[in-house]
Each structure stands twice: as structure tokens, then as C-alpha cells.
Amino acid sequence: MPNFFTVSIIAEVICFLVAVTCLLKTPNLVWRSMIIYLFLTCITEIWGLYIAKHTQNNHWLYNIFLFFEAGFTFMMLGNLLGKYINCKPIIVPGFAIFLVIYIFGITDRGFFFYNYAAYTIMSVMFVLYSLYYYYLLLKDDLYVDLKHSPEFWWVAGTLLFYFANTGCNIFYDKLYTIMISPKHHLTYFIFKALNVILYGCWSYAFICKKWLTTSEA
């Protein structure tokens, strides 16, 4: 019987519950869509763990989820960048590039091999978009209280997660050789920590969004 109470799943479920509590009544449809995305994330992780314990190959499931991960995150980044610029000229081509690499990877290797190329390209673009958001934020003359800015904290989690994840994937072969415990490599703990950071930042962002929506009502 697989243990479904892993660090990652607990962090995801908590983040989902915070999203439901804080975003259900927000007027912004893109922010509300995070509830759907996090629900899909929780289902995928639980189902993926179950499949891994029984068939050993759950790559097809994560290949399907990769498409939704890209779609929701591109949409959210576009929403945040759209506050400062017309973001379609960079978001639409970025998503198109991802789709081409995603489709090529699936047709070339099939659904039962994880599409690392598409994930890597997607991660790099998310890092670049996140850095560009912070550049626009710094250039903007409008004062923003970063402690209570949902956009700032959502992008912070996204940037840290995908930047570190990309670095770990590049050096995975070397990191994997470092044993921290008899059963776990260094990468195991890094990825768990990154999940906690991502969903912790997102949860705080949702709380800030709830506070902001309430204060403006």
C-alpha cells in the first residue's frame, strides 16, 4: 500500500485548500483557475504514486499533466505581465514553442517516456518571464507593498522552483550519486524542499489575494 502522505502531496493539498478558501470569490478568473490547476496537481500526484507502486511507469500521466502545467502557468504569467505590457507577443510564441517541442517529444518517443525536453524549455521560459516581471515591477513608479503583494509571492515561488529545478535536472547525474540516507539521494530532498517552497509561496500569495479582495470590497 503506497504512502500517500508524502511531503509533496501534503504541501499540494494544503495549497489547494488555501486556494479554495481564498480564491473562490475573487473576481479575477485567472487567479480562480488556480483552484482547478491545484486540484489537477493533487490528483496527478496521488494517482502517479499509486501507478508507480503497481506498474512502475507513470510517465504517461505526467506527460498529460505537463500540458496543463504549461497552460495554466503561461496563462497566469501572461495575466501578471499584462498589468505592465502587452504580453501576447512574448507569451503566445513561448507557448507555441513549448507545444512544438511537446508534440515532437511525444511523437518521437511516445507517452511512456517523460518529455524532459519540453519540461526544460518550459522551465527556462518561466524563469525568464518571472525575471522580466520583476524587472517591470522595479521600473514601475507605483508603490507596491511586497509583503502583501500576491503577484510578487506567486512569481517568487515560480521563479525559485523552476530555476532550481532546471539546475537540478542539468546536474542530476552528479547529484544523484550523493546519498543522504540509505534509501534517498540528495535529489530526493532537494525536490521535496522545492515543492514546499513553491506551494508555501503560492499559499501565502493566495492569502494576500484574499486580503486584497476583501479590503477592496
pLDDT digit string, tens, across residues 131-188: 999 999 999 988 889 999 999 999 999 999 999 988 887 776 676 667 776 676 777 7
1 domain-assigned: no
pLDDT at position 173, please?
Answer: 66
pLDDT at position 215, please?
Answer: 60
Which one-letter amino acid corresponds to residue 45? E
177 domain-assigned: yes
142 domain-assigned: yes
Give, to the nearest 10 degrees, the angle between helix 59-81 and helix 116-139. 20
Comparing C-alpha atoms, which of 45, 175, 169, 183 is closest to residue 116?
Answer: 169
2 domain-assigned: no
HSE-up of residue 8 (Cα within 13 Å, Cβ side): 17
How many domains would you assign to the chain? 1
156 domain-assigned: yes
Q: Exposed (0-12), middle (13-18) or buried (19+): which is 8, by Cβ within 10 Å?
A: middle
Q: How is residue 94 written as a grid cell?
A: 513561448
DSSP reduced 3-state for 196 = helix
Q: Which residues contact 188 (CB under 8 A, 6 or more apart)?
A: 180
Comparing C-alpha atoms, which of 6, 5, 8, 3 is closest to residue 193?
Answer: 8
DSSP reduced 3-state for 179 = strand
pTM above 0.75, yes or no: yes
Comparing C-alpha atoms, which of 195, 185, 187 is closest to residue 160?
Answer: 195
Low-confidence ranges of the chain (pLDDT < 50): 1
Q: How is residue 128 written as a grid cell?
A: 525568464
Q: How is residue 194 written as a grid cell?
A: 522545492
Q: How is residue 30 written as a grid cell?
A: 485567472
**Structural domain span for residue 210:** 7-216
Residue 19: CB atoms within 10 Å: 28
Q: How is residue 149 written as a grid cell?
A: 503583494
Which one-letter amino acid corresponds to residue 31? W
